[in-house]
Structure 1
Amino acid sequence: MTQFFIDFTEQYKGGHKRVIVLFGAAIIFMIYAMLKLKFDIAELTAYFLLISVLIGIVSRMKAGDIADGFVEGAKSLLYPDIRLYW
C-alpha cells in the first residue's frame, strides 16, 4: 500500500521535526493573519523576519549564520531590481 504521509521516524531527526512543525504552524498562522486579522505588507514583512529568526534558533544555527542566510536571500531578491535601474 502506498503511503501518503511523511515518515518522521526514519527520514528526519529531532531538529528537523521541530523546524517542519514550526514552519507549518507559521504558514497556517500567516493565512489566518491575512484573512482574519487583515495583516498588510508591513505586518507580513515583520512576521517573515520573526519566523526566519525563530527557525534559525530552533535549528540551532549561530546568529552570524542566520544573518548571513538572510542577507544572501535578500541579495537574490533585490539584485535583479537593482540592475534594472543602473
Structure 2
Amino acid sequence: RLTGLETLEGKESPRLSVLAEALFAVGCAVETTPGSIRVAPGTRTSGELVLDPRNDHRMAFAFALLGLEREDLRVQNPACVAKSWPSFWTDLA
C-alpha cells in the first residue's frame, strides 16, 4: 500500500485514478482511497491492451514499464513524453 499520494489528483491528469485504471486493466487487484493505493496480484488479462495516459508524460513513462512485461500493451498518444524526454521511446528500446 502506498500512502501520502493526495497531490497526485491535481497534476496534468488525475494520476492516482489513471494509474489505478491501468493496473486494473492489466489484471491487478486495485483499491484506492483519497491519497492511497493498494495493489495486489489479480488475474492477468489477455489480448492487446491500449492504455491512455491522458496526455500526461509521467503516466506514459509508468505505462512503458508495464509494457516491458507485456508485449501486447500499447500507450495511446506516446508523443506526450516529448514534454520532458523527447527521446524516451528510442532510449527505452
**More helix per residue: 1 or 2?**
1
With CA pairs under 8 Å and 6+ residues apart, which has the higher RCO, 1 or 2? 1
TM-score by length of 2: 0.39
**More strand per residue: 1 or 2?**
2
TM-score by length of 1: 0.41
